[in-house]
């Protein structure tokens, strides 16, 4: 089952800096929502609040109407809220297969007694773990890397392994923090189909933080544009791409961001530049 997310009036202060300033948003079950904005706009901090890594000074986060204020990150994980990080936190000395088995061990814990005496339940659970790992390796095209040590893999392949551990966790709400950060252009271009496949497999609601605007637009049902800890625009990709507030806040700031994954056509880039000086008819803006 997918999950609905509700964020209301969230405030986060770091000393004298307000990282999030009254952020409110709703995400429908099964949707893919992309968060874009310049560095320091509050995107990762928002994921930290949703996942329980950061406690807000004010505001609420609810999953399917359940307030998560008293839920630690591990409690939220048990509810199906799964988070990935920019730095791909994997054990460098393990093989790909061993890495996925460790993830399965965390999800399907077996007591010491059952393990030591090889009780029937131990055998059933072990078979289920290996079946889940085999399925994840096949689904994400990692079979040929099964016995490779994580340290030997490229950054892009390590990120795919990280996604495979997410698949085995069976998420209901998935938070992805810049999955293409630091990877080669060719590997970045392959992430669009891969993330679509991930969505098909899990059926999860996905919140995606990503600097690659064309990739984000091609994947997401809705976009949220953040600036200085606030939501300055939101809507469908077509609405946001024609919103002068969004363009000024981020989209028009970097042509490299618009063209990184090769999905933005020159004509579209020229239109975006033109729209910075003249707002199109029907443009919509939401300020928080």
Domains of the chain in start order, with CATH, are 1-80+170-288 (3.40.50.300), 90-169 (no CATH)
* Greatest mean pLDDT among 17-21, 246-250, 260-264: 17-21
- Burial of 107: CB neighbours in 10 Å, binned 0-12, 13-18, 19+: middle
Longest dimension (CA), the chain: 73
Distance CA 182, CA 225 (A): 22
pLDDT of residue 224: 93
Mean predicted confidence (pLDDT) in 189-211? 87
Residue whose C-alpha is closest to residue 180's, from 140, 213, 144, 203 = 213
* Greatest mean pLDDT among 36-45, 126-135, 248-257: 36-45
- Would you say residue 157 has pLDDT above 70? yes
Polymer length of the chain: 288
- Would you say residue 54 has pLDDT above 50? yes
- Would you say residue 233 has pLDDT above 50? yes
Distance CA 182, CA 184 (A): 7
pTM of the predicted protein model? 0.76
- Per the listing, tokens 């490229």 go with 154
Half-sphere exposure of 77 (CA within 13 A, CB side): 13
Q: What is the mean pLDDT of the chain?
A: 80
Please say whether the beta carbons of 44 and 28 come within 8 A.
Answer: no
Q: pLDDT category, 284, cuts 50, 70, 90?
A: very low
- Burial of 30: CB neighbours in 10 Å, binned 0-12, 13-18, 19+: middle
- As given in the structure block, the two tokens for residue 277 are 């000086």
Higher-pLDDT residue of 193, 55: 55
Question: Alpha helices of the chain — where are they, by DSSP H?
Answer: 43-51, 73-78, 96-107, 112-116, 120-139, 155-168, 185-189, 191-202, 213-219, 237-241, 244-246, 255-259, 266-275
Distance CA 246, CA 243 (A): 5
């Amino acid at each position: 089952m997918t999950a609905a997310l509700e964020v209301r009036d969230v405030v986060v202060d770091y000393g004298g800096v307000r990282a999030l300033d009254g952020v409110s948003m709703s995400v429908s079950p099964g949707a893919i929502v992309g968060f874009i904005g310049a560095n320091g706009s509050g995107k990762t901090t928002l994921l930290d609040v949703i996942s329980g890594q950061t406690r807000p000074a004010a505001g609420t986060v609810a999953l399917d109407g359940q307030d998560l204020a008293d839920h630690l990150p591990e409690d939220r994980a048990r509810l199906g809220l799964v988070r990935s990080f920019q730095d791909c936190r994997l054990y460098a000395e393990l093989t790909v297969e061993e890495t996925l088995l460790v993830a399965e061990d965390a999800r399907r814990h077996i007591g010491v007694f059952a393990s030591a005496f090889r009780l029937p339940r131990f055998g059933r659970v072990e078979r289920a773990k290996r079946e889940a790992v085999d399925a994840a390796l096949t689904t994400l095209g990692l079979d040929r890397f099964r016995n490779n040590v994580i340290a030997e893999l490229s950054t892009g392949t390590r990120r795919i392994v990280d996604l495979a551990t997410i698949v085995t966790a069976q998420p209901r709400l998935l938070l992805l923090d810049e999955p293409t950060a630091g990877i080669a252009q060719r590997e970045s271009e392959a992430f669009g189909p891969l993330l679509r496949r991930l969505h098909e497999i899990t059926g999860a609601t996905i919140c995606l933080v990503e600097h690659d605007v064309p990739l984000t637009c091609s994947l997401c049902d809705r976009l949220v544009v953040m600036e200085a800890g606030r939501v300055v625009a939101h809507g469908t990709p077509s609405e946001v791409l024609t919103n002068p507030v969004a363009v000024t806040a981020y989209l028009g700031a970097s042509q490299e961001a618009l063209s990184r994954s090769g999905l933005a056509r020159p004509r579209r880039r020229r239109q975006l530049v033109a729209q910075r000086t003249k707002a199109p008819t029907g443009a919509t803006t939401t300020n928080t």
